[in-house]
Structure 1
Amino acid sequence: MSTLALHPDRLFPAEPETRAIARRLHDGIKALPIISPHGHTDPVWFARNESFADPAQLLIVPDHYVFRMLYSQGVPLEALGVSRTDGGVVETDSRAIWRSFADHYALFRGTPSRMWLDWVFAEVFGLDEILCAANAARYFDTIDAALKTDAFRPRALFERFNIELLATTESPLDSLDHHRAIRESGWQGRVITTYRPDPVVDPDYEGFAANVARLGDLTGEDVSNWTGYLRAHEVRRAFFRDHGATATDHGHPSATTADLPPAEAKALYAKVLSGRSTPAEAELFRGQMLTEMARMSLDDGMTMQIHPGVSRNHNRTVMELFGRDKGADIPAPTDYVRALKPLLDRFGNEAELCIILFTLDEDSYARELAPLAGHYPALRIGPPWWFHDSPEGMRRFRERITETAGFYNTVGFNDDTRAFLSIPARHDVARRMDCAFLARLVAEHRLPEDEAHEVAHALTYDLVWKAYRL
């Protein structure tokens, strides 16, 4: 069995002088608190502060980064304990699930998931051998025993990880009871929510009309008409702000925006609500709602995040059998210059508005996003996201956007994860890669080292506070 050891110079440049600069930069920021302004961890963990069930239920069953790789190599999702929508039989023995994972751990070689998992195993649980079939039982027993102790409850780990703020993401229809419970518990950890209106702005979302009706019930607004529908969003956004929200999030298929005359918007809303809209009309409505959300953000100060360009739930069979978010989301080419123009014509010059653009289409970084954010006061570029939340993705990101947009039109790092224990691992990678990039600039005499230290601090801490108005 191979030794599991995290090298102190991991991800730093191989050239000795540049590596030494990266070390010095990293020494200045490695102990800064973690700000996690966008993610999908479950607030119930922090509200109830109950022990996590077991290693498989914590690290495998809910993590699509893990099970998509295993599925691609023929491991059935049922064998990994992923629930079926029809109630069909799946593996419920967590030790068996863990054995399947350990048997196939070699599949993760060279991937970010392997780097994150090794960090968790070594740093959180003190394991010193690389996971394999032979030590799977020892791994399970060690992690399981730790999870039964108070030191591994969610709040204790939150504090151990030096997390200063963590944002979750909820539907407008969520009661936010767990956030209320956290706030009323007296615990000092700061966990806030984020407004994710997709279920009530996307006509293709299952149950769209019923979701909109529920939005009306929650707000007391008449959502049968366009004016009442918009007012319902405003009321619900205020409710989310009362529970700590500083941002909204929009997972649209594309970056399409629209700015229709009021009469046309009203007619379009009536059609999508009736269920008779065409795919083009559904896309136009989503685009109109991005512009409406930008207007609301200018009014209430919430930062707006747009995550377009994903063909979500691409595998029809998996979607039918297991539901959403089961590792079958695929990046797609995304147009930003033309797609965002209606919104930018109306709001792009508003310095008080902050719209953070994410992409899974890396070609758009240098061609579109950096020039856009390098000009429009309202725009910022989000960090490498999802498939590009990786060492090479982070390197390409800095190389492609810095010369045009600079550092200060970016917003720091966010981990965008459901896997709680991977949060510090992901931030560790981001900090090291930023220091590696800055070290190269210093070594090439393109940036003084004292300024590089300032930039490293900004990328780790300052910019995220500013962008998310925390």
Structure 2
Amino acid sequence: NAMLKGRDFTTRALIKKMNVEVICTTDDPVDSLEFHRQMKTDFDVKVLPTWRPDAVIKIGDNAKWREYVEKLGTSASISIKGFSDLINALEKRHSFFHENGCRQSDHGLDRFYFSAYDSSEVENITRKMIGGKPLNEGDPEKFRCAVMYELCCMNHRRGWTQQFHVGAMRNNNTRMFRMLGPDTGFDSIAPPQDAFKMSCFLSMLDEKDQLAKTILYNLNPADNEVMITMAGNFNDGTIPVKVQYGPAWWFLDQKAGMEKHLKDLSALGLLPRFIGMVTDSRSFMSYPRHEYFRRLACNYIGEEVEKGLMPSDESLLRMIVEGISYRNAKEHLGF
């Protein structure tokens, strides 16, 4: 405790001690980003915003959704009365985030959404929700698909990297949800993904040349192979591994999960281009997980060399390890 009170263990001191070059926060489209602008002048580590527009498609509670849409409209100085207004407001805020250094979006989804729709349909659906009217059975899927498509087009237009974290079943304990609210530690792994809808959504973007650099994260380990092979479907050669299989996330961010992840990616993907570990914890003491991951990765590669499954070529192995540990993420994310 005495050490933690010292100057060497302040948040900023810890960040510098761990040789952190870039931190990307998670920010709602309505965020003012005032502290990001402040840190540009008083902190020599890059702290960049990340666009996280999940609240736009959380339409289960209509009253809360309408309250959020009101905030979004205020932040963009747009009166939101329908779908086109909603997208215009998001576009304006997306531009604001870009001006403030944002180059990534992050989307926390229970699954991928896909349903055929036309502009008049989603306009009417949005107007119904704003008016507090009930939706038809297929309306939520169409609305979510349409919003996600427009958000992905924005990401592509500005050259961002988009991330999809899918497969969390949230707020399972109803009693604790009522007591503490959402996202308080009562989440678990959802059933495997609907690969068909994932395929259709990514294909829709690709067909219209609107697929940005993409990183796919799954929470259910049963989806590893699905995600890896799905990513391979949309790598068009324009940049190395345009669609990436992301690192082991959340419940999979442990020894067995990371080892399975490395084995599956090596078998079905391109391990030397892997972007490596991510620190998505709110704890500033969590940076050693990168070292933990690097040790597991080196151990896996070393075992493969000993088995004769990878060449015993030090220069090649160094390139792979350095890429996974540092270079690949920096190049892919453009830092």
Q: What's the TM-score once normalised by structure 2's chain length?
A: 0.90
Alignment deviations for residues 356-414 of structure 1 (CA, whole Å, 9 cap, x no partner): 11111111112x11111122125211110000001110100111222221125633211
1:421 corresponds in structure 2 to: 285
User: What code does the residue aligned with 2:40 have?
Assistant: R
Whether 1:452 and 2:313 are equivalent positions in the alignment is no
Contact 1:412 1:460 in 2 (8 A): yes
Q: Please show how residues 429-440 of structure 1 align to structure 2 within 5 Å.
A: 429-440=292-303
User: What code does the residue aligned with 1:217 have?
Assistant: T
2:215 corresponds in structure 1 to: 356
Deviation of 1:284 after TM superposition, in Å, equals: 3.5
Whether 1:294 and 2:152 are equivalent positions in the alignment is yes
User: What code does the residue aligned with 2:47 have?
Assistant: V
Gaps in structure 1 of 5+ consecutive residues: 1-142
Contact 1:315 1:328 in 2 (8 A): yes
Deviation of 1:280 after TM superposition, in Å, equals: 4.9
Q: 1:356 to 1:278 in 2, by over 3 A?
A: farther
Identity %: 26
Question: Which contiguous aligned blocks of 4+ residues in structure 1 show a shift greater than 6 angstroms?
Answer: none
Q: 1:210 aligns with which of 49, 52, 67?
A: 67
Q: 1:194 aligns with which of 50, 55, 73?
A: 50
Contact 1:257 1:290 in 2 (8 A): no
2:239 corresponds in structure 1 to: none
Q: Which entry has the higher C-alpha Rg, 1 or 2?
A: 1
Contact 1:257 1:291 in 2 (8 A): no
Alignment deviations for residues 176-228 of structure 1 (CA, whole Å, 9 cap, x no partner): 1211211132x211111111111223212672111111111111223212112
2:275 corresponds in structure 1 to: 411
**Aligned mates of 1:177, 1:315 — CA distance in 2:** 35
**Aligned mates of 1:256, 1:352 — CA distance in 2:** 15
Q: 1:446 to 1:455 in 2, by over 3 A?
A: same
Q: Please show how residues 333-372 of structure 1 align to structure 2 within 5 Å.
A: 333-348=191-206, 350=209, 353-366=212-225, 368-372=226-230
Q: 1:390 to 1:280 in 2, by over 3 A?
A: farther
**Aligned mates of 1:360, 1:341 — CA distance in 2:** 18
Q: 1:281 to 1:232 in 2, by over 3 A?
A: same
Deviation of 1:249 after TM superposition, in Å, equals: 1.0
Q: Please show how residues 157-306 of structure 1 align to structure 2 within 5 Å.
A: 157-185=14-42, 187-204=43-60, 207-258=64-115, 260-275=117-132, 276-277=134-135, 280-306=138-164
Whether 1:462 and 2:327 are equivalent positions in the alignment is yes
Deviation of 1:279 after TM superposition, in Å, equals: 6.9
1:96 corresponds in structure 2 to: none
The one of the two structures with greater contact order (alpha-carbon pairs below 8 A, sep at least 6) is 1
Deviation of 1:236 after TM superposition, in Å, equals: 0.8
Contact 2:273 2:323 in 1 (8 A): no
Q: 1:374 aligns with which of 232, 235, 239?
A: 232
Contact 1:259 1:342 in 2 (8 A): no
Deviation of 1:345 after TM superposition, in Å, equals: 2.3
Report SS of the residue matched to 2:233.
coil
Q: 1:401 to 1:353 in 2, by over 3 A?
A: same
**Aligned mates of 2:332, 2:199 — CA distance in 1:** 22
Q: 1:404 to 1:313 in 2, by over 3 A?
A: same
Q: 1:398 to 1:199 in 2, by over 3 A?
A: same
Deviation of 1:457 after TM superposition, in Å, equals: 0.9
Whether 1:441 and 2:304 are equivalent positions in the alignment is yes
Contact 2:274 2:323 in 1 (8 A): no
1:329 corresponds in structure 2 to: 187
Query: How many residues matched?
Result: 324
User: What code does the residue aligned with 2:328 have?
Assistant: L
Contact 2:231 2:245 in 1 (8 A): yes
Contact 1:380 1:410 in 2 (8 A): yes
Deviation of 1:352 after TM superposition, in Å, equals: 6.7
Contact 1:253 1:310 in 2 (8 A): yes
Alignment deviations for residues 402-429 of structure 1 (CA, whole Å, 9 cap, x no partner): 2221125633211211111112x21111
**Aligned mates of 1:329, 1:228 — CA distance in 2:** 33
**Aligned mates of 1:412, 1:268 — CA distance in 2:** 41
Alignment deviations for residues 328-375 of structure 1 (CA, whole Å, 9 cap, x no partner): 011111324211233222223659721211111111112x11111122
Report SS of the residue matched to 2:285.
helix
**Aligned mates of 1:278, 1:328 — CA distance in 2:** 30
**Aligned mates of 1:319, 1:459 — CA distance in 2:** 39
1:152 corresponds in structure 2 to: 9
Whether 1:395 and 2:259 are equivalent positions in the alignment is yes
